[in-house]
Amino acid sequence: MVLVSAVRDYINRMLQDISGMKVLILDSHTVSVVSVGNSQSELLQKEVFLVELVDSISKSKESMSHLKAVYFLRPTSENIQHLRRQLASPRFGEYHLFFSNILKDTQIHNLADSDEQEVVQQIQEFYADFVAIDPYHFTLNMPSNHIYMLPAVVDTSNLPHFCDRVVDGIASIFLALKRRPIIRYQRTSDIAKRIAQETAVKAVYQQESGLFDFRRMEVSPLLLVIDRRDDPVAPLLNQWTYQAMVHELIGIQDNKVDLRNIGKLPKDQQEVVLSSEQDAFFKANMYENFGDIGKNIKRLVDEFQQISKSNQSIQTIEDMAKFVDNYPEYRKMHGNVSKHVTLVIEMSKIVEERKLMLVSQTEQELACNGGQVAAFEAVTNLLNNESISDIDRLLLVMLYALRYEKESPVQLMQLFNKLASWSAKYKPGLVQFVLKQAGVDKRTGDLFGNRDLLNIARNMARGLKGVENVYTQHQPLLFQTMESISKERLRDVDYPYVGNHFQQGRPQEVVIFIVGGTTYEESRSVALQNASNSGIRFILGGSVVLNSKRFLKDLEEAQRMARSSMAVV
């Protein structure tokens, strides 16, 4: 509840003291921030009768002075420009300005300069600069995410912008939670180091230290900045737990699922909302695997059928009255049931088409255990199989390459050639790019459990014991990281501190930020870890939420930019 309730509280505070009819004006980022926490009907209750974007509101000239304007924007220069223009010719009676991050003095000066009519009643900073999609999971929805893969020499213009946005987002998390953290970062990643240091400089230690002067806890919370490339396997795998699966196969954006491209669906099912706050069934099932979901949905449908049958037999006036009483509930349940049934049907179709059961089995073997020879055979068989789609072939080869990079280069080349022969679109160059970015030399963590003896022994034991479910045996690297933190075994060598502060004892709150994006599998890991009551509360965040398509797109973009910069040089 932590992150979502923080955002909701901010919005409530914004609106409660202003009486009368209001119009809420947002920009393209804050729209996502507000939409995941509050619904339209809640805003209506607070007398917000119009919600607009800041760029579109300047197009109309009609004056609505009976409305009070509440602006909630990020403090970027474009937004300040928009505001200046709108303050110069105000349309509304009063203006209340709220910004999602720290304002510079020059920006306040500019606004004061434009406010000749003196319509601005207040300017406040409410630090809700992140999208809280789940109670312990946030994202920053950054558009050009691939920049983190490029070294600073290649792209000198966009990288500072990227880092600034990330630092702003992380700072606002800590301001919303009212904490002052100790920062650690992954040694092998330059961008993680840069972000960690910039966060320290800007937010925690120097510039705005007055703002971060919260009551010091016994053990300060920890901010850990790590790089996506330390665990490139997690975004590449096929998922079988509800939320992760929907994102992997269809795609979730700000808790909304867009089904328009998938098939012919009735109008009210073309876009649906999957939010654990608003949907009790989803909250109970979001981390369950596909088989269990099927069972639970069947139970839900049976319940619903019972109710609708009893609704059909209306004989007395009492029955009628009862029906009308229960109608809103009935309608809501109907909508909910059809939403989940539609999603499961569409996903089953996709699984069938792409033969994902077969593919995923091999993927899990590659990620978790199994010998090299068997893996090579399995991958070759699947590559030869005609019904496998191109993207799945690419993913398989990538996984194989990441796992058995050093073990048998000849066989790896064979796989590359086979891949190239099948599809012109997905070149093996991409696989080599991945190896360059996230190969075994670049990784800190023990991704495959084959670096130290303890892990190898553990893997062998697991192999002998057998697993419950072949399809969900993969544990993301994040799980091991969280365990190390809770046992205070996170090595200083691998994850050094920023500045001179050292952690005494176990932190009680940990924010892990993955530069490059998180996956829903990892957020599931975090949620399950939090539910196990180990005494530590973990919060996970990233620049975007990845699935395999998005990760491949980032890789392709980065590869293209790297190539074009080399061509220039």
**232-261: which residues touch other proteins (CB under 8 A)?**
254, 256
> To which residue do tokens 């080349």 refer?
413
The span of 146-154, 219-227, 271-279, 358-366 binding other proteins (CB under 8 A) equals 271-279
Length of the chain: 569
Q: Name, in order, each residue with C-beta under 8 angstroms of 443's C-beta and a sequence gap of 6 or more.
A: 188, 229, 230, 231
Selected from 3, 69, 111, 512, the binder of other proteins by CB under 8 A is 111
Q: Which CB atom, from 320 or from 413, has the smaller least distance to other proteins? A: 320
Q: How far apart are CA 205 and CA 567, in angstroms?
A: 41
Q: Which CB atom, from 52 or from 292, has the smaller least distance to other proteins? A: 52
Task: Write out the binding residues for other proteins, residues 23-52 only, by CB under 8 A.
Answer: 23, 31-32, 34-35, 38-41, 43-45, 47-52
Selected from 78, 85, 113, 458, the binder of other proteins by CB under 8 A is 113
328 binds other proteins (CB under 8 A): yes
Exposed, middle or buried: residue 166 (CB in 10 Å: 0-12, 13-18, 19+)?
Answer: buried
Task: Write out the binding residues for other proteins, residues 300-319 only, by CB under 8 A.
Answer: 317-318
Determine contact, residues 365/377, Cβ cutoff 8 Å: no
Determine contact, residues 181/510, Cβ cutoff 8 Å: no
551 binds other proteins (CB under 8 A): no
Of 6, 9, 29, 118, the C-alpha closest to 78 is 29
Question: What is the CB neighbour count within 10 angstroms for residue 310?
Answer: 13
Written as six digits, the tokens of 197 are 């240091």
Selected from 143, 284, 327, 452, the binder of other proteins by CB under 8 A is 327
178 binds other proteins (CB under 8 A): yes
Report, in Å, the least distance between residue 158 CB and other proteins: 26
Task: Write out the binding residues for other proteins, residues 71-90 only, by CB under 8 A.
Answer: 88-90
Q: Which CB atom, from 122 or from 532, has the smaller least distance to other proteins? A: 122
Report, in Å, the least distance between residue 45 CB and other proteins: 7
559 binds other proteins (CB under 8 A): no
Report, in Å, the least distance between residue 179 CB and other proteins: 10
Q: How far apart are CA 502 and CA 235, in angstroms?
A: 32
Inter-CA distances, 373 with 203, 360, 379, 411, 558, Å: 51, 18, 10, 10, 32
Instruction: Say what the alpha-carbon torsion angle 13, 18, 23, 27 is, to the nearest 10 degrees.
Output: -40
Task: Write out the binding residues for other proteins, residues 373-392 only, by CB under 8 A.
Answer: none
504 binds other proteins (CB under 8 A): no
Residue 277 C-beta-side C-alpha neighbours within 13 Å = 20
Q: Which CB atom, from 295 or from 332, has the smaller least distance to other proteins? A: 332
Q: Which CB atom, from 70 or from 401, has the smaller least distance to other proteins? A: 70
Determine contact, residues 561/154, Cβ cutoff 8 Å: yes
Selected from 320, 345, 374, 531, the binder of other proteins by CB under 8 A is 320
Q: Which CB atom, from 34 or from 490, has the smaller least distance to other proteins? A: 34
Task: Write out the binding residues for other proteins, residues 194-213 only, by CB under 8 A.
Answer: 211
Q: Which CB atom, from 29 or from 229, has the smaller least distance to other proteins? A: 29
Report, in Å, the least distance between residue 144 CB and other proteins: 21
What is the contact mask toward other proteins in residues 126 to 155, using x (rule: CB under 8 A)? xx----------------------------
Radius of gyration (Cα) for the chain, nearest Å? 26
Asked whether the CA dihedral 327, 330, 336, 341 is positive or negative, the reply is negative
How is 341-390 classified by DSSP, letter by letter? HHHHHHHHHHHHHHTHHHHHHHHHHHHH---HHHHHHHHHHHHH-TTS-H
Selected from 66, 264, 465, 489, the binder of other proteins by CB under 8 A is 66
Question: Facing residues of 223 across strands?
Answer: 183, 511
117 binds other proteins (CB under 8 A): yes
Instruction: Say what the alpha-carbon torsion angle 168, 531, 550, 442 is, to the nearest 10 degrees.
Output: 80
Q: How far apart are CA 6 and CA 505, in angstroms?
A: 27
Report, in Å, the least distance between residue 109 CB and other proteins: 5
**How big is the site for other proteins, counted in residues (CB under 8 A)?**
84
Q: Which CB atom, from 10 or from 185, has the smaller least distance to other proteins? A: 10
Selected from 3, 18, 68, 115, the binder of other proteins by CB under 8 A is 115
Q: Which CB atom, from 46 or from 501, has the smaller least distance to other proteins? A: 46
Question: What is the CB neighbour count within 10 angstroms for residue 377?
Answer: 13
Written as six digits, the tokens of 560 are 């293209």
Task: Write out the binding residues for other proteins, residues 463-492 only, by CB under 8 A.
Answer: none
